[in-house]
Amino acid sequence: MPTPEVFVRPFAEVALTNITREYPFAAHHVARGLIDIVPASEKNPAFANSFDWHSSVHMHYLLASLLGTESARSADWRDEAIETLSAHLSEDNMRAEADFLRNNPSWERPYGWAWAIDLNRVLNASEISELRTLGKHTQVLTDSVFDLVLEWLPKVPEPVRHGVHSNTAFALRRILIGARTQDRSDVVDAVAKAAHRFYAEDQAWNFRQERSGHDFLSPGLCEADLMAEVLRQDELAEWLPGFLSDLTPESPALTPVEVLDPTDGQQSHLYGLGLSVAASLMRLAPKLLSSAEHSGNHEVGDHARGLLTTVDHLMAPGLEAAVSDEYMASHWVATFAWESLVLRNH
């Protein structure tokens, strides 16, 4: 498997191309009247690009992440990337984006919300002063998301367990990590409380039948990822092995699905599925190994090591699709590819 540095330039080129491409664009927004029938950029001045709002947000996140790599320090695309991010993530644009979320509180919930938190987090953590300034600009968007999360979670009767954008666990994990970074204990507590309510009693997830043809997430692994952040070590050591007991290297859930029609935007989700599953396995396997060490259960350790043998095979189709000429994949897959590559490297 190549190192992440090999992909920095091609992914940066993809991200820059995407966030400066206005069309095609899927607004995913309910029009309340003719006043809402306007170009997307009038409603969303920063993120009306890269095919849809959430993909734009995480492509900005990807570009900011890539700027933190060693090879980006002297890259010929560095200045353009910083200038583009600075233009898009201006104070005025971020206020407009935050206002739009507040005025449309169910829009991009929770997937787009989570990526907005991640964008702010990576900007604040950057060694580049211009990006840290953009972190200050995006704080208004992050604060809006935190407020929306606090209002939303107590009203949710059940989590969404689909393997697409509406998945509850995938977003809550990212929001939780962002809230911890900013010492937002109110958000951390709300997410932890919801996670316990939604998932604490789950056992032996059925990985043989969870997958469907539009998935880019594993509902079971997203849940496990979230609970690994929420549960105490002793609680996780008891919960996680049982929850993952049905998952083996031979499970259908750990076998890449061939994309027969790359132009089909829903089917192309399957490229991301292998990447997100691989990333989850690489986060969860160390938790299983830790559990095995504390319990002395060698079967759990063998289970973890077996799961990791599937990672490279799962990642391969998505790595290729991330830089393909087919926009239905290339407008979003590189973010998932980069996160899995970074985990693979460590």
Domain contains 244: yes
Res. 32 pLDDT band, cuts 50 70 90: confident
Which structure tokens are listed for 330?
């290339």
Q: Which of 151, 141, 178 is nearest to 54 (CA)?
A: 141
Q: Omega of the bond prior to 24 within 30 degrees of 0, cis?
A: yes
Which structure tokens are listed for 244?
């993952």
* pLDDT for residue 294: 78
- How far separated are the first and last CA of the chain, in Å rounded? 12
* pLDDT for residue 33: 87
Q: Which of 177, 197, 108 is nearest to 145 (CA)?
A: 108
pTM recorded for the entire structure: 0.97
Domain contains 128: no
Mean pLDDT throughout 139-166? 98
Q: How many CB atoms lie within 10 A of CB 302?
A: 13
User: Over the chain, what is the mean pLDDT?
Assistant: 96
Q: How many domains does the chain have?
A: 1
Res. 1 pLDDT band, cuts 50 70 90: confident
User: E-assigned strands of the chain?
Assistant: none
Which tens digit of pLDDT belongs to each residue from 286-325? 999 988 887 777 788 899 999 999 999 999 999 999 999 9
Domain contains 219: yes
* pLDDT for residue 283: 98
Distance of CA 215 to the CA centre of its chain: 14
* pLDDT for residue 190: 98
Domain contains 133: no
Lowest mean pLDDT segment, chosen from 3-17, 19-33, 157-171: 19-33
118/338 Cα distance (integer angstroms): 14
Domain contains 22: no
Domain contains 216: yes
Domain contains 283: yes
Which tens digit of pLDDT belongs to each residue from 35-83? 888 899 999 999 999 999 999 999 999 999 999 999 999 999 999 999 9
Lowest mean pLDDT segment, chosen from 30-34, 59-63, 152-156, 202-206: 30-34
Which tens digit of pLDDT belongs to each residue from 324-333? 999 999 999 9
CB 324 within 8 A of CB 262: yes
DSSP 71: G
Residues contacting 40, CB < 8 A, separation 6+: 22, 25, 27, 48
Quickly tell me which residue has 């539009």 as its tokens. 214
CB 86 within 8 A of CB 55: no
Query: In Å, how far are 224, 254, 299 from 289, measured between CA atoms?
Result: 15, 19, 10
At how many degrees (to 10) do helices 78-88 and 5-19 cross? 40
Q: Omega of the bond prior to 110 within 30 degrees of 0, cis?
A: yes
Query: In Å, how far are 85, 226, 247 from 238, measured between CA atoms?
Result: 44, 15, 16
CB 291 within 8 A of CB 300: yes
Which tens digit of pLDDT belongs to each residue from 130-142? 999 999 999 999 9
* pLDDT for residue 164: 97
Lowest mean pLDDT segment, chosen from 126-130, 180-184, 288-292: 288-292
Domain contains 309: yes
* pLDDT for residue 67: 98
Which residue type, as a one-letter code, is found at position 42? E
Domain range enclosing 344: 207-346
* pLDDT for residue 100: 96
Which tens digit of pLDDT belongs to each residue from 209-249? 998 999 999 999 999 999 999 999 999 999 999 999 999 99
* pLDDT for residue 292: 83
